Amino acid sequence: MDTLVLNADGSPLSLLPISAVAWQDAIKYLWMDRVRVLDWYDDWVVTSPSWQTKVPAVIMVKDYIKSNRTPRFSKYNVSLRDQYECQYCGINLVNRDITMDHVIPVARGGRTAWDNIVASCGPCNHSKSDKIIKPRQQPYQPTYYELVNKRKKYPMEIPHVSWRSYI
């Protein structure tokens, strides 16, 4: 189970993906006095020989962290940019395995970057091999806000009921 991390202004540090840390890290930040706990997991207590605490469900950093509004290049963000659609056959990939395909294959000098990677289904990626095939939509680097707006179109799994008030 993870712990939701909020910035000092009460907003999540990130929505791409939602800012969460492992419960062990949350306890470490609490011990180091870097965060305030806003909500706890009621039925979860961890102990050491000299100390015990409930596990934090939601924490807020004490010092405001200025976030970088340039989206990180990742499989998740590429899939979101392409709206979970294979850029060759158009099949919906929401609950399927998504692969990242180089439009210009690495064997032909293609780079792993926003402007050369698209979301693809496994069969299309495999059959494309090292050929150059034009995707349905030309790859590009999206803005942070574009990805956030696309993310809002899909249901968000909220792991714990206490997170609902903060997201």
Residue-averaged pLDDT of the chain: 91
DSSP the chain: -EEEEE-TTSSBS-BTTB-EEEHHHHHHHHHTT-EEEEEEEEEEEEE-SS-EEEEEEEEEESS--PPP-SPPP-HHHHHHHTTTB-TTT--B-TTS--EEEESS-GGGT--SSGGGEEEE-HHHHHHHTT-----SS------HHHHHHHHTTS----SSGGGGGT-
Residue 142 — very low, low, confident or very high, per pLDDT cuts 50/70/90?
A: very high
Confidence check: pLDDT of 73 > 90: yes
User: What is the domain partition of the chain in residue ranges?
Assistant: 2-67, 75-151
Confidence check: pLDDT of 138 > 80: yes
Q: What is the topology classification, in CATH, of domain 75-151?
A: DNA Binding (I), subunit A (1.10.30)
Instruction: Identify the weakest region by mean pLDDT among 48-52, 106-110, 142-146, 155-159.
Output: 155-159
Average pLDDT over residues 109-119: 96
